[in-house]
Every structure is written in structure tokens, then in C-alpha cells.
Structure 1
Amino acid sequence: MRLKMESNEKLFCFDLEGPISLNDNCKDIAKELGLIRVFDILDRYDDILYYQKKSCIGSTLRFILPFFIEKKLDKSRMRQISEKTVLAKNIDAAIISAKQKGIMSIISTSYEIHSYAIGKKVGVKEENIYSTKINLDGILTPKDKELIENIIRQSVYLNKKSDSELEDYMNAFFSSISKPIEQIVNDTIVIGGFEKKQKADELMRKNNILGKNIVAIGDSIVDIEMLEFASAVGGFSLCINAKKEAIDSADFALCSLDRKHLVSLFETFEKSGKDGLIDLATRQSGNPDYVFSYLRNLGKNEKNKIIELHKSMRKYIRG
């Protein structure tokens, strides 16, 4: 029996929102439907539960589904909203470079419909896209509609509540909606955190990729496990214009508006591995167009400077 040889190809695992596109799709949908205050409440509720280890990260995407159903959101409308998405500058060049070196994948918390739409734009096959599947076919009862409308009406005041008050209020809401709608929320598996790491691992094994040939790219708390996984197996973990949690989890950080710099990073990684990237970060001469940093063994002050730099960039991009 012949053993299947491990591939020397690279495996690129990109987060979608941040590294590839500049929009928060769920937030964009909420804006289109007049639900932005509800989104903000549920996003805060998500954070409250996550930090108490009561829910998986990214659960805003499932918590908001009853409200999307009430507004009669469908796949066609979602695709229309996705069409307005702004892509990161020169992301096409970065993706072409990745595809030349191996397998290009998107592992995203975003809704699957949106991920497929953006994947089609940038030339990533659906078979290499892993994201959050949702069901919008639920039928609301009159009581469901009343509960939802009450949240919408009270949204300004709800965000003024303390964390414990908001948690109690939203817990009561989700325990009061009808069982079929509750089931839609509970059955939605958000591809974030552990699920991202799991998908990266599956892709690695499926394609016989060596750990040292994995590239994981993210920017936020939902990417921590995927970034840490790539680092642990000897690969290249990179955060771009990132939140503190991602910076604390990755080997490298890139702060830039332009994804053309990924091309040179991928070239260096292919030729010289992580050592070449460390050397590149060490030799960087203060190019104002980008800052590439090696994050391991940094002092507290140096790390804080990088965190603040990325925070400023995120604010500039997202407002």
C-alpha cells in the first residue's frame, strides 16, 4: 500500500471581514433594516455572555436572526447588501499570490451567503469557504412579533442598562420567544473561535499540508484560536489592523491600508520561512505605508505601542 505524501503546498486561511473586506456585514444588514440599535444591544449582550463563558464568541449573528426574520430578510436582499461591500486595497494581488503558492481559503464568522458572494468576487472557490449558515424561514407568532417590536422600541433605553440588567432582559426575551424561533437561534453554529481552528485543522489534514506551511490571517477575538493553532503547528500567524486579542495571539502584525504588502510577506515566507519574516520585521526601516512587527518576546511598552497603532488604524477605517 502506497502512503500519501504530505504536500509542500501552502495553506492560506483568511478571515473575511478585516483582512479581505472592510465592512461588518451583519452590521450592514442591520443598518439597511433599521436595526442598528438592536445590533449594538445584541453585540454588547454577546460580549457579556462570552466573557462569562456562557456563549461562544460571535453569537450576535445568531441572536439577531429573529429580528431579521421579522423584517422579512431573504437571500436576495442579503446578496444586494453584499454587493456594496468595500474590499481592502489590492486584496486581489494578495489572493493571486496565495493561490500561486497553494490553497486559498476563507474561514469566516460572516454569514455563508455573504462569504460566497465576496469569495466569488475575489476568486475563492466555495469548497474552500467556511462560514456561518443560517435559516431565515421561521414563522413568527403574534407573541414573537410583539416581543421583537418591544425590543426595537426600547432599544435606546436598553443600551443604558447595566451589564447585569441587560443580560437579564435579553435572557427573558430569548426564553419567551416561540420554540421554533428559539431553535433557529440555538441551531445556528457560528464559525468563530474554536470552530475556525477546527476548520483550519480539517483543511490541513484533508490536503496533507505540513503545519509549517499554514498561514492564518485574522484581526479580532473570533480569530484567536485559528491564529494560535497556526503558530502552534509551526506556521505563520498574522493579524492585520487588529484588536488587542488578535495581537496577543499572533506571531506577526501588519498595520497598513494596502494588502499589496502581503505579496512580499508571502514571498519571504515561501523562500525563508518564519525566520525570514522575523528578519524582515527586524530590518524594517520605518516605511510610512506599513508597519510589520514580530510580536513574540516584545516588552510591554513595545507591545502597547503596536496595540495603539492598530487601534488607530481600525478607527480610521471603520470610524
Structure 2
Amino acid sequence: MRKIVCFDLEGPLSPQDNAFEVMGLLDGGKEVFEKISKFDDIISLEGREGYEPGDTLSLIAPFLVAEGIDENNVLEISNKAKVVNGSKELVNRLKKDGWIVKIISTSYSYHAHTIGDRIGVPSEDIWCTQIDFNELQKLISKDLKNRIKEVSHEIVEIDEIDGLVEKLDSFFFKELPKTEYGNPLERVKVVGGAKKLEAVKEISKKYKVPLQDISVVGDSITDYKMLGEIKKHDGKSIVFNGNQYAIPNAKYAVGSENIRYIEPILNSNEPEKLVTQWEKNIEKIEKNTESAPKPIKDLLIELETSIPDIRLVREEETEEIVKKHIKYRKTVRGEAADLG
């Protein structure tokens, strides 16, 4: 049986939220991104038809294009991005051990391919969001450009959630579709929640590997569908430094500054037994790492890090896990930790 693992990119492999940082090139752009991201979370969770977690990257595109942002700006920001500790080593070790490594990312292709290249995952093994800035530029008239800038200033001033949702709903899905730009979701088709799951199923079909034998690693709202589906099939569904949207949908939760700590779970034939043994002995392990299960003990000795938080995700412990992971997210991801 072939061993396949599918990683989300932003979070597990690179701490940068590239779109957030690119929006930071605009005056007040990070605030605009945060508002649109909140809107994205709300309408995604309400289950609006035709909308998926991660479609933020469709919605910010008009704002970027109106300010003359293009792929060169995305690449410039991407080239400054760090990778998560242990990510390159993990990919290399998995490949040497016969794993097929895929990335399924909401990120714009320019960023996803840059990070993939740095950690050893070629572009043909990456699913990500395609965007053509030159084509979009042709769709924005001077009047529309001015209107987009106006809306940008307006939404920054809105603090009340209902007012924000009403304003953005009206602009994106009533006003903008009447212009030459059209429906933003059609202009940039994001690899978000449902499309990530579609990618996993496509990989399963291509390699003739059942879903229960595919491992997935994610951390946020765009990952909850693929995490949940693999968990449902009793596969290795792993959340790494996750948030409140991802954690309840995973089977295993790993909080750490180094992603190598998911390796023992990936390589174990009995991952549930391994993690249960770790949980059972955690108090002893905190005093003496010799008490840790051997695969994790070996990593603790090799990496010389603080003791990671490794658990099975149980409903009654979800809130506690979220609190633990918030700390890791802030340490590893900085500003991006608070985004959905």
C-alpha cells in the first residue's frame, strides 16, 4: 500500500499568511483583510450555498488589483516567508521512507510553489489557487477602482459584525457583479474547504489508495472538511497548531514549534495506541523523557525542544486543546495566528 500525506501549507509548513502580508502593502490593507476574513468565517459557517472557507482570496483580489498589486509583489512577500521548524527535514525523511507528499493549499500559486520548492515538494504535487493579475486588471475601470478604494475605507470603520456582513455582502454579491468585474468567486476560484476535500479524493482515486489510508495535516477553517472526512474514515487526520475550526474535526492534535513531532503518528501502524501511551505517561515524561514512547523519545533527544502537546481529540477536551494550540500558533505564526 502506498503511503500518502497531504499537507495544508500556511500553518503546518510555513507560518506566513501570504495574502494577509500582501494586503499589508496597501494603506490599511491588513485591517481590510481581517474584516473580510471575519466575513468569510461567518458566511462559511452558516453554510451559504456556493461559498467555501478560504474564498477570502477571491474577495481580496479586487482590492489588490485596484492598487496595482501583481504576481511580483506576491513573490516578493513569499520570498521573505520562513518555513516551520522541521518542515523541510520532515518532507525529506518521508520521501526517503517511500511516502508520496502532496500540498493542498488555499494560497495563490506564486506563494505555494515558492514554499514547495524550498521544502522539496515540486509544483506538480501542489494544489493551490490560480490568479491572473493581468487579466483582472483589464476588468477594473477607473470608476470601479475608485469605488473599491472607497469601500476599503468604509469597512475599516465598521466595528459591528452585522453591519460588516451587510456591507460586504452587498458589495461583493450585489454591487460588484453588476460591474465589468463580475462575481468575484468566478474570477478567482479558490482551493478552499470543499476543493481541498475534492483534491484528497482525486489523489485517493489516482493512486488507488482508500481514504482511510491517506493522512492529512491542517490547522484552520479551510482544512476542516478534509480533516473531518479522513477522521470519519478512521484515517490519520492530524491538526498541527490548530484553531477552533480545525481541532474538533481532527483525530490527532499536535502542538509544537517543530512539525517533526507528527512523524511518529504518520509512521505508526497503531497511532491511537502510541498517542494514548503518551497521554497516559505525560506527567512522568515531563519529569523524565525516558518515559516517552520510543519514536517520540528519540525525537525529543534529537531535536532538544520543549515537550510537545500530543493528544487524541476528544470532544470533552477540545476547548482545552484549543487553548494550548493558541499559544503555539502565536509563537509560530505571529499575526497570522488570529486569522480563521
* Native 8 Å contact 2:18 2:74 kept in 1: no
Tell me which residue corresponds to 1:95: 91
Q: CA deviation at 1:103?
A: 0.7
Partner of 2:310: 292
TM value normalised by structure 2: 0.83
Q: What's the counterpart of residue 73 of structure 1?
A: 69
Asked if 1:83 corresponds to 2:76, the answer is no
The equivalent residue for 1:172 is 170
Aligned to 1:196: 196
Counterpart residue type for residue 318 of structure 2? K
Q: Which residue of 1 aligns with 2:300?
A: none
Q: Deviations over 1:47-82 (max 9, x none)?
A: 232233223211211111111111212222211110
1:47 aligns with 2:63: no
Deviation readout 1:113-136 (Å, 9 max, x if unpaired): 211111111111212111111232
Q: Could you list the runs of 5+ residues in structure 1 that have no partner in the other structure?
A: 1-7
Number of residue equivalences? 305
Deviation at 1:192, TM superposition (A): 1.9
Distance 2:186 2:89 in 1: 39
Q: Give the CA deviation at 1:281.
A: 4.4
SS of the counterpart of 2:191?
coil
Gaps of 5+ in 2: 290-305, 336-340
**Alpha carbons 1:240, 1:253 under 8 Å: kept:** yes
Per-residue displacement from partner, 1:122-157 (whole Å, max 9, x unpaired)?
111212111111232222112211211212333431
C-alpha displacement of 1:185: 3.8
Hey, what does 1:313 align to over in structure 2?
328
Match of 1:123?
120
Shift of 1:274: 4.3
C-alpha displacement of 1:40:
1.7
Q: Decide which moves more: 75-84 or 275-284.
A: 275-284
2:108 paired residue among 111, 127, 142: 111
Q: Cα RMSD between the aligned structures? A: 2.0
Residue 181 of structure 1 aligns to a residue whose secondary structure is coil
**Deviation by residue 1:150-187 (Cα, 9 ceiling, x = unmatched):** 123334312x2x22222222233232235331245434
- Which residue of structure 2 lines up, in the alignment, with residue 18 of structure 1? 11
Paired residue type of 1:87:
V
Task: State the distance in 1 between where 2:12 and 2:204 align.
Answer: 21
Q: SS of the counterpart of 1:73?
A: coil
CA contact (8 A) 1:48 1:163 kept: no
Other structure's SS at 2:181 match: helix
Aligned-pair identity in percent equals 26
**Using the alignment, how far apart are the partners of 1:149 and 1:76 within structure 2?**
21
Distance (whole Å) between structure 1 residues aligned to residue 200 and residue 166 of structure 2: 36
1:63 aligns with 2:51: no
2:301 paired with 1:304? no
Q: Equivalent residue for 1:149?
A: 149
In structure 2, the residue corresponding to 1:217 is in which secondary structure? strand
Supply the distance in 2 between the matched residues of 1:185 and 1:192 (Cα, whole angstroms). Answer: 11
- CA shift digits 1:294-316 (9 cap, x unpaired): 124x5x2x332222111222233
Contact 2:155-2:167 at 8 Å conserved across structures? no
Task: Report the TM-score, using the length of structure 1 for normalisation.
Answer: 0.88
Relative distance call for 1:56 and 1:211 in structure 2 (3 A) is: closer
Give the structure 2 partner of residue 3 of structure 1: none
Matches within 5 A, 1:158-169: 158=158, 160=159, 162-169=160-167
Q: Which residue of 1 aligns with 2:293?
A: none
